[in-house]
Amino acid sequence: MERDPITGELFIRVVGRRQPPPLGAVPPARTREALAQMAQYRTRAPKGVFKYGSHEEANRAREAWIVDAVVASEP
């Protein structure tokens, strides 16, 4: 068994060989660039709490947000 040094979680089995970087280590430039690029992602879903009369109405609103995001991302 292996215990996570940060959270204290106990893992019965660990699959793979990738090791996390040491605590306090600065991520490489390539990783920082990837994180910065991912931070620019927009969902186009408006913020807030919405109440819908039915699931179908909520699904239509979500589909409209998805279409807006696709249209906005076209070059």
The reported pLDDT for the residue numbered 30 is 96
- Residue 68: its H or E element: helix 55-73
Average pLDDT over residues 58-66: 94
Domain positions in the chain are 46-75
Residue pLDDT, tens place only, 1-53: 888 888 999 999 888 888 888 888 999 999 999 999 988 877 778 889 999 99
- For residue 37, the SS3 value is helix
DSSP state at residue 9: -
3, β-bridge pairs:
10
Structure tokens at 11: 């893992």
Q: What does the DSSP assignment read for 19-31?
A: -PPPTTPPPPHHH
Asked whether residue 63 carries a pLDDT value surpassing 90, the answer given is: yes
pTM for the full predicted model: 0.47
The whole-number average pLDDT for the span 55-73 is: 91
Q: How far apart are CA 49 and CA 58, in angstroms?
A: 12
